[in-house]
Amino acid sequence: MVNLQGEVVGINTAVARGDSESAATNIGFSISVDEVLIVIEQLRAQANGVERREGFLGVGLTGREDGGQGAIITDVRAGSPADNAGIAVDDIVLSVDGEPIDGQAGLVAAIRDAVPGQKVKIEISRDGKRMTFEATLAARNN
């Protein structure tokens, strides 16, 4: 995907086309070039022998059954980045660095894509109150 100056601004990922039973009119979906460039740099580093390290928060998760946004914390590992930040069991993670979390897979992806040592702001709901915590991610041990 390019802008009017011919600069790449995104990579198309899917296209929804209409048919006789749907009203879609060739709707396209794409990933921002800013996101793609991060992955390209990671791939280049891996190609040169640099091991990719994933961020680690140290929580167990479950999805919400009430249809709400976020992921529910079911376990916090002692001494983990989540524990050190003050995150607790039954907290509902709503966003990471301002990006909404849509289920447990969304939280896993957000943390996995971050790097060890990175500070992330985690917005949670605890007993109906919104709170924000800052956690410094550790490296995931494989």
Q: Are residues 73 and 119 in the same domain?
A: yes
Write out pLDDT tens, residues 2-61. 899 998 888 887 766 666 666 656 677 788 888 888 778 878 988 988 887 888 999 999
**Type and span of the H or E element at 33:** helix 33-47
Decide if 1 contacts 9 (C-beta within 8 A). yes
Q: Are residues 15 and 60 in the same domain?
A: no
Four-CA torsion 55, 59, 64, 69, nearest 10 degrees: -40
Q: Are residues 107 and 43 in the same domain?
A: no
Q: Are residues 126 and 68 in the same domain?
A: yes
Which pLDDT score is estimated for 67? 83
Which pLDDT score is estimated for 15? 67
Four-CA torsion 40, 41, 44, 45, nearest 10 degrees: -150
Q: Are residues 69 and 126 in the same domain?
A: yes
Q: How far is CA 55 from the centre of its chain?
A: 11
89: domain CATH number is 2.30.42.10
Nearest partner of 1 among 40, 49, 47, 34, judged by Cα: 34
Name the 3-class secondary structure at 85: helix
Which pLDDT score is estimated for 131? 97
Which pLDDT score is estimated for 20? 63
Q: Are residues 95 and 126 in the same domain?
A: yes
- Give the integer Cα–Cα distance in Å for 129 and 32: 33
Decide if 89 contacts 59 (C-beta within 8 A). no
Least confidently predicted of 14-18, 43-47, 67-71, 72-76: 14-18
* Tokens representing residue 30 in the block: 């794409």
Find the domain containing 16 and state its range.
Answer: 10-47
Q: Are residues 42 and 98 in the same domain?
A: no
Q: Is residue 4 part of a domain?
A: no
- Give the integer Cα–Cα distance in Å for 133 and 126: 12
Residue range 97-119: mean pLDDT, rounded: 91
* Number of compact structural domains in the chain: 2
Q: Which residue has the higher pLDDT, 113 or 88?
A: 88
Which residue has tokens 């946004």? 69
